């Protein structure tokens, strides 16, 4: 089960490694953030202060480079990155991770778009609502908090509504998320029959079901046996644990996998100390039992929060695996 604040961020804060720079995040020139809600944001919660973007210090580097995170997001936006050259018609809504408290906006956001757009895939980066711990209600996974899932449902519908305008095939719209964003990809894949908010315009009449999902080192997908027994949920799907029976993990009952859940790609390292590998295993088993096409890759090493920055660890070659998989499910040409 993912801890309230992802370990990598906890290390950053504890070490005082953050830059003192505090600015509002802006996309690269030529791209604009588009508010996803035309008026009042549903389930609006107060935040501790204005939205802020910070850069990590030298004690928190990924592949030798710092990364930027955004906090106190109360007005969600999407930024559309169109393909460069060829266009496959496919689109991916990207959910950066950050423990549902901040967003790793470049490491697990803009850098993903830099990979996808040259491949002919439209990338839509969602800056969904997150709040840090403090005196105000914090964001979190659904149903603990509905905000992020509301933003995700709204964005998938918006992309489908604008498909013709943005040269997207409305039947090739997927989601891709990291860590908490990986959970959001699974939540979007299992909560699409009914929106969590009242419809606000024609875009909400479009389906918010993704056509495929990619979850990279996801969390919140499983519960320990004790945690599961404390909930009233769906069929219990248990992943055996070698240590003891009370350590077995079951699918999080808030994820209702059905035959309508989209094809899914899962990737995780077995030495991930933030999101236990049982998260991916439990979700994989549930997808298999429902007859959903699913591909999972587990690596012995790799840890957590590496994005797609290449290191000596073989797991960082995962983008090629996703490209191949997208071809096998018919989203792009093989």
- In SS3 terms, 279-290 reads as HHHHHHHHHHHC
Residue 137 pLDDT: 64
Residue 279 pLDDT: 94
Query: Cα separation of 237 and 252, whole Å?
Result: 9
Determine the average pLDDT of the residues in 36-50. 91
Model confidence at 185: pLDDT above 90 = yes
Model confidence at 12: pLDDT above 60 = no
Q: Cβ atoms within 10 A of the Cβ of 228, count?
A: 21
Q: Which of 290, 233, 285 is nearest to 258 (CA)?
A: 290
Q: Cβ atoms within 10 A of the Cβ of 24, count?
A: 10
Question: Edge-to-edge strands of the sheet including 52-55?
Answer: 52-55, 68-71, 102-103
What are the residue ranges of helices labelled H in the chain? 7-15, 111-116, 147-161, 180-190, 225-229, 278-289, 318-328
Query: Cα separation of 131 and 40, whole Å?
Result: 18
SS3 label, residue 18: strand
Query: Cα separation of 321 and 319, whole Å?
Result: 5
Query: Cα separation of 176 and 125, whole Å?
Result: 10
CB 177 within 8 A of CB 163: no
* Token code pair at residue 168: 């997207």
So where are the chain's domains? 7-328
Query: What's the CATH architecture for 7-328?
Result: 3-Layer(aba) Sandwich (3.40)
Query: Cα separation of 107 and 105, whole Å?
Result: 6
Model confidence at 2: pLDDT above 60 = no
Residue 229 pLDDT: 62
SS3 label, residue 147: helix
Q: Which of 253, 161, 169 is nearest to 211 (CA)?
A: 169
Q: What is the mean pLDDT of the chain?
A: 88
In the chain, what is the greatest distance between 2 CA atoms, to the nearest angstrom?
Answer: 55
Residue 14 pLDDT: 33
In this prediction, what percent of the chain has a pLDDT beyond 70? 85
Q: Give strand pairing partners of 264.
A: 213, 294
Model confidence at 49: pLDDT above 80 = yes
Residue 22 pLDDT: 56
Integer-rounded Cα radius of gyration of the chain:
19
Residue 139 pLDDT: 83
Determine the average pLDDT of the residues in 181-199. 98
Interstrand relation of 212-216 and 173-178 (parallel, antiparallel or unpaired): parallel
Please tell me the pTM assigned to this model. Answer: 0.89
- Give the model confidence (pLDDT) of 285-321 as tens digits: 999 999 999 999 999 999 999 999 999 999 999 999 9
């Amino acid at each position: 089960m993912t801890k309230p604040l992802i370990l990598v961020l906890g290390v950053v804060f504890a070490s005082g490694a953050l830059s003192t720079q505090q600015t509002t995040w802006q996309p690269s020139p030529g791209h604009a953030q588009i508010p996803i809600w035309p008026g009042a944001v549903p389930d609006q919660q107060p935040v501790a202060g204005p939205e802020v973007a910070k850069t990590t210090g030298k004690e928190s580097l990924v592949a030798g480079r710092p990364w930027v995170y955004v906090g106190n997001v109360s007005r969600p936006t999407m930024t559309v990155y169109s393909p460069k050259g060829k266009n496959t018609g496919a689109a991916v809504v990207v959910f950066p991770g950050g423990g549902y408290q901040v967003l790793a906006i470049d490491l697990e956001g803009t850098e993903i778009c830099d990979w996808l757009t040259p491949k002919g895939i439209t990338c839509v980066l969602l800056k969904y609502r997150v709040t840090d711990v403090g005196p105000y209600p914090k964001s979190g996974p659904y149903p603990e908090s509905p905000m992020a899932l509301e933003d995700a449902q709204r964005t998938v519908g918006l992309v489908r509504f604008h498909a013709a305008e943005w040269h997207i095939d409305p039947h090739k719209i997927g989601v891709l998320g990291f860590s908490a964003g990986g959970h959001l990809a699974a939540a979007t894949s299992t909560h699409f029959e009914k929106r969590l908010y009242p419809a606000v315009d024609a875009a909400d009449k479009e389906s918010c079901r993704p056509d495929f999902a990619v979850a990279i080192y996801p969390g919140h997908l499983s519960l320990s046996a004790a945690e599961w027994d404390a909930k009233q949920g769906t069929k219990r799907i248990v992943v055996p644990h070698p240590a003891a029976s009370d350590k077995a993990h079951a699918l999080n009952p808030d994820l209702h996998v059905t035959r309508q859940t989209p094809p899914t790609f899962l990737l995780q390292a077995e030495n991930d100390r933030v999101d236990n590998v049982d998260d991916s295993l439990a979700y994989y088993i549930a997808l298999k039992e429902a007859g959903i096409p699913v591909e999972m890759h587990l690596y012995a090493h790799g840890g957590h929060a590496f994005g797609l920055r290449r290191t000596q660890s073989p797991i960082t070659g995962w983008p090629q695996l996703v490209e191949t998989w997208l071809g096998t499910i018919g989203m792009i040409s093989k």
